[in-house]
Amino acid sequence: EQRLDLWNKMMPSNLPLEESFDLKKLSRHELTGGQIELVIKNTAFKVAVLDDPLFKTDDFEEQIQKELKSMFDSENKVGFFN
């Protein structure tokens, strides 16, 4: 799957991941390469300030949902400006 390849290429290899980290689960979301990059960066900012900076699948899922919601919201707004 192309998205799984994108996730593998974009994820820094030195990230401390939880043992049950599931990249395949993340790759099921229909995100562009730019969105994946943004999700990774936003998740890194969130996790970096934690006492125990361990990356969990749920941290990425939360950022994916925010990204998908913002994409959906922007599509709704576009119609009002036409």
pLDDT tens digit sequence for 24-68: 999 999 999 999 999 999 999 999 899 989 999 999 999 999 999
Q: Which two tokens stand for residue 29?
A: 């979301």
Identify the pLDDT of residue 72. Answer: 67
pLDDT of residue 19 exceeding 90, the answer is yes
Residues whose CB falls within 8 Å of the CB of residue 30, separated by 6 or more in sequence, listed in order:
3
Residue 4 Ramachandran class (φ > 0 left, ψ -120 to 50 alpha, else beta): alpha
For residue 71, the model assigns a pLDDT of 75
Q: Distance between CA 45 and CA 6 in Å, rounded?
A: 20
Residue 82 — very low, low, confident or very high, per pLDDT cuts 50/70/90? very low
Instruction: Write down the pTM of the prediction.
Output: 0.83
Q: Is the pLDDT of residue 21 over 70?
A: yes
